[in-house]
Structure formats: C-alpha cells, structure tokens
C-alpha cells in the first residue's frame, strides 16, 4: 500500500519520505485543515525529496463555497505552483447547496498546462452521494477522492468506505481513505482492498509562548510536525503480509 502524508514544512516532508511515505500532500497551516502552500515552500521541498508532491489549493479556511474572486485566485495559484514542480493538485469546490461545483472544478483542471493528477479533497464528505457521484467526479477530471467515508473519521465509516471502494472499481477512480488513519485501523482498510491511504502522522511541537506584540497576544509555538516513528510504524503495517 502507498502512504500519502500531509505536511506544511520542508522538515516534515523530509521526515515523511525518510519514514517510507510515497507521496506528499503539501499545504500551509495544517492547523486550519491545510491551505495553499507558497511557491517558495514547494521549491524547498522539491530540493530535498524525490517522491511526488501534490499541492493543496485552498485559499482560505472555512467552508468550500468560493466566490469568483477566490476561484480566480486558486486557478492562478495552481498555475504558478505547476511552474515550480508540483506533481499534482488537491482541491474541491462546492456550491451553496453543498453540491459539487462541477464548473469551477473543471475550470481549474482545464487551466493547467498539462494533465496533472488531481485529488478531490474532503469537500467530498459534504456532498450527497448516489450511484452516479463517482462517475461525475471522474468526468470532471479528478483521479482520486480523499474521504473518511462521510463520517468524522475512517473508523466510523468502514461500511461506507467499502461501498465507495466497490463503486470506485466500477468507475475507475481511486478512493484515498484519510482522516484518522493509524496503525489501529490500517488492517481493516487493507482488508477492504484499498491500495493508498492518507495520514498526517503528526505530533504537536511546542516552541514556547512568545508573549505579546502591540498589546496583542502572539500565537504560541504549538504546531503540527511529522513524527518519523509514526510514519515508519504505519508503513510497516501497510507493507506487512
């Protein structure tokens, strides 16, 4: 099985590769669920890792409904990151009714200079699913879907994930389980038949309290970083017979 690890620093990307991950989802600000990384961060990561780097395209935190200015911003971001070595992209746009915004998603994919593999992120978990949903996602141009199965985490949605896996084989699109993937549930995901999983394999690093600036409290030094031991342990479980 392939492990994709989400990271927001070059340091974490290096540790993910060292631990056995085969793909990086590169973001900024993982504490907000992951936003678009800078071109500078992408360039630094590409200097130090050889595995594929997929870039998150998400211009702000919050919901997945975006106005035309935000869509335009994210299209520009994806085009810029494609010039600096991105191997693929991760994004998802919804409309006011929490349905997939097919036009905007297709617009971004068609704006790219070549056929990059694109992952529909966990915006998918908010949309109503029927027998034709996966086919629509593939027709837009996505090659995989990152999902918990619709629940708060994968462990609460094994039945739904199994149904999605069966449907995905019929349609020809990859389901990428993500959200709470760890060594305790990987055996069940393998048993269902998944070939890829997504995890942060992270711990919180605390660098101290920075006090105040102009009478405003500064954020403390708590941030997510990849834990090498977690990556190695999970990869060991993934590759065990």
Cα separation, 194 vs 213, whole angstroms? 49
Q: What is the pLDDT of residue 113?
A: 87
Q: What is the pLDDT of residue 211?
A: 58
Q: Which residues pair with 206 in a beta bridge?
A: 222
Cα separation, 64 vs 81, whole angstroms? 21
Q: What is the pLDDT of residue 14?
A: 98
Q: What is the pLDDT of residue 160?
A: 96
Which pair of structure tokens corresponds to residue 78?
A: 């994806």
Q: Which residues pair with 222 in a beta bridge?
A: 206
Q: What is the pLDDT of residue 240?
A: 83
Neighbours of 191 (CB within 10 A): 10
**Ranges of residues in the chain whose predicted pLDDT is under 50:** 218
Tens-digit pLDDT profile for residues 102-130: 999 999 999 998 999 999 999 999 998 88
Q: What is the pLDDT of residue 215?
A: 58
pTM over 0.85: yes
């Amino acid at each position: 099985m392939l492990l994709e690890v989400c990271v927001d620093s070059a340091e974490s990307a290096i540790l993910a590769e060292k631990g056995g991950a085969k793909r990086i989802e590169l973001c900024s600000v993982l504490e907000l669920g992951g936003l678009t990384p800078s071109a500078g961060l992408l360039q630094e990561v590409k200097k130090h890792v050889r595995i594929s780097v997929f870039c998150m395209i998400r211009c702000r935190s919050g919901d997945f409904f975006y106005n035309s200015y935000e869509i335009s911003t994210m299209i520009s971001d994806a085009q810029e990151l494609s010039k600096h070595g991105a191997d693929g992209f991760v994004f998802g746009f919804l409309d006011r009714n929490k349905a997939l915004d097919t036009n905007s998603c297709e617009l971004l994919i068609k704006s790219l200079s070549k056929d990059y593999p694109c992952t529909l992120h966990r915006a998918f978990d908010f949309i109503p699913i029927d027998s034709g949903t996966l086919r629509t996602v593939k027709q837009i141009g996505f090659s995989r879907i990152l999902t918990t199965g619709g629940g708060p985490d994968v462990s609460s949605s094994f039945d739904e994930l199994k149904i999605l896996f069966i449907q995905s084989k019929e349609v020809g699109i990859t389901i990428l389980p993500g959200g709470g993937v760890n060594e305790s549930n990987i055996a069940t995901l393998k048993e269902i038949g998944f070939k890829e999983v997504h995890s942060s394999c992270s711990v919180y690093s605390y660098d101290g309290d920075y006090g105040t600036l102009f009478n405003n409290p500064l954020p403390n030094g708590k941030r997510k970083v990849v834990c090498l031991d977690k990556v190695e342990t999970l990869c060991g479980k993934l590759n065990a017979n």
